[in-house]
Amino acid sequence: MERTLITGGAGFLGSHLCDFFIAQGHEIICMDNLIKRENIESIAHLMGHERFKFIKYDVTEYLHVNGKLDNILHFASLASPKDYLDFPIQTLKVGSLGTHKALGLAKEKKARFLLASTSEVYGDPAVHPQPESYPGNVDPIALRGVYDEAKRFAEAITMAYHRNHGIPTRIARIFNTYGPRMRLDDGRALPNFMVQALKGEEITVYGNGTQTRSFCYVDDLIQGIKKLLDSDENEPVNLGNPEEITVLDFAKEIIDLTGSRSRIIFCPLPQNDPKVRQPDITKAKTILKWEPKVSRREGLRKTLQYFEKKLSET
C-alpha cells in the first residue's frame, strides 16, 4: 500500500486528489491549515475512512510525518486572485517556506515529490500558446506577483532539490481547472458567472471580454497529475485544456447553459490580468500520453448541478 501526503488536501484540487488516491488503494494523509475554513466540507465524506487521516497544519512550519511516505503532492496554496490578494504574505510563504519544508520531508522519506505549479508562471504571455520552454512575462512587484513569484520560486527550489539531492520531482503547470467543489465565492470567472446567472444577477465581465482562457475539467486534470507522478519527467509539464475561448463568449455560454435572463456588464480590467491563456500540451501528449477527454459542455453541466445544489442549501 502506497502512503501519500497531500498538502492543501482540503482545497478544490486537493480534495479530488484525496478521493482519487483513496480509490487507487493509497493511504492518504491530508494536510491543510484551513485558511479557507469552509474547505473542510470538501473532505467531510472521507472523515472516518480507514485509509484517510486529516491533519490541520501550516506547512510553512517544521514539517514531520511519522512512518514512511511514498509520495508527496504539494498543493498547499491559495489559487484564486481574490484569495491570494487577500492573503499575499501567506501566499508567498507557502510557495517558498512551505515548498522548502515539503521538499525536506521528501528528502528525508525518499519520496516522490509533485509540485502543483501554475500557468501563472507565464504571467501576461508574449508567446501564444504557452509551451514549457517559454520563461514568462511576470512583474514581480505587481499585485498578482505574490502568487506568480511564489510559484516560480517553488519551481526553482524543486529543481534545485532534484539536481542537488536526486529527489524524484515532478512539476505540473496547471491551467484553469473547474468542476464540483469550487467555492461559490471563489472569485474566478466560472464561479462568478455561474452564481450570477443562477441568481439572475448581472454578469460581470472584466475589460472588454476579448481576453481568452482555457478550461479543463477536474477529472481530466487529476488523470494528468497521476500520469505525471508515475512518469520519469522531472521538468515542468503543462496540464490543461487547449480549447481556447474568450471570456465574453464564455459568459454567454454560461447564460445559455443556465437559461438565465442575466445581462452582461463590463468592469475595469484588474492589474496584470493576462490577455491570453492557452496551454501547449504537446509535451503531455508525447511523454504522458495524456490529453483532456471531457468536453466543456459536458463538464459545465456537471459543475452546474453542483452549483445548483450548493445554492439551494444557502
Maximum CA extent, the chain: 58
**From 84, 147, 161, 217, active-site residue:** 147
Question: What are the helix and strand counts (H, E) for the chain?
Answer: 10, 13
* CA-to-CA separations, 111 to 1, 166, 168, 229, 234, in angstroms, rounded: 14, 11, 7, 11, 14
Place of cell 464540483: 180
- Is 220:293 a contact under the CB 8 Å cutoff? yes
- Is 82:186 a contact under the CB 8 Å cutoff? yes
Strand partners, 169: 113
Is 147 among the residues known to form the active site? yes
3-class SS letters over 166-225? CCCEEEEEECCEECCCCCCCCCCHHHHHHHHHHHCCCEEEECCCCCEEECEEHHHHHHHH
Q: Which amino acid is at 283?
A: K
Catalytic residues: 147
